Amino acid sequence: MIRPAKHSDVPRLIELGTLLHSTTSYSAMNFCPDKSARFLHDLINGQGVVFVAEVRGDVVGGMAGAVTDQWFSDDLIAYDYSLFVEPSKRNGVIAVRLIQTFKEWAKIKGAKQIYMGIGTGVSVEGTTRLYESQGLRNIGPLLMMEI
């Protein structure tokens, strides 16, 4: 089941975020659970959106995003902050349902476009195929370097 996150979900989302952080290109950066929790609470309070995926009452994944105006236009765009499903629950329909729910939310909010990226460095090809299967098109790479 996919549903909007509640404030009581934040501790579990931080657990999932800690796991995500430790396995990605972001692991070289410090992870601040308190800051991350405040950010999720802000999104839940209306500065964006957080959806969670539940299996038998347990939160096993989530997606966070927001809508803003494009810097050069008054048109709105939706974008993701993060999409994560715990490893034991992948290769099913959970990520697809999270993305579909986010797309519906973005339409309701009036977004003209959705942007989703893959900044983790994990399963880039597979995640790209997943996003493309949901109607997104690859418009270019995301590059990063350590300094």
> What SS3 string covers 45-95?
HHHCEEEEEEECCEEEEEEEEEEEECCCCCCEEEEEEEEEECHHHCCCCHH
| SS3 of residue 115 by DSSP | strand
Q: Is residue 64, in this structure, part of any structural domain at all?
A: yes
Q: Is residue 92, in this structure, part of any structural domain at all?
A: yes
Q: Is residue 142, in this structure, part of any structural domain at all?
A: no
Q: Is residue 38, in this structure, part of any structural domain at all?
A: yes
Range of the domain at 101: 2-133
Query: Which residues does the chain have with pLDDT short of 70?
Result: none
Q: What pLDDT, on a 0 to 100 scale, did the predictor assign at position 91? A: 78
Instruction: Check which CATH number belongs to the domain holding 70 and give it.
Output: 3.40.630.30
Q: What pLDDT, on a 0 to 100 scale, did the predictor assign at position 63? A: 98
Q: Is residue 62, in this structure, part of any structural domain at all?
A: yes
Q: Is residue 95, in this structure, part of any structural domain at all?
A: yes
Q: What pLDDT, on a 0 to 100 scale, did the predictor assign at position 127? A: 92
Domain count, the chain: 1
Tell me whether residue 41 is exposed, middle or buried, using C-beta atoms within 10 angstroms of its C-beta: 0 to 12, 13 to 18, 19 or more.
Answer: middle
Q: What are the tens digits of pLDDT across the range 64-79?
A: 999 999 999 999 999 9
Q: Is residue 145, in this structure, part of any structural domain at all?
A: no
Q: Is residue 140, in this structure, part of any structural domain at all?
A: no
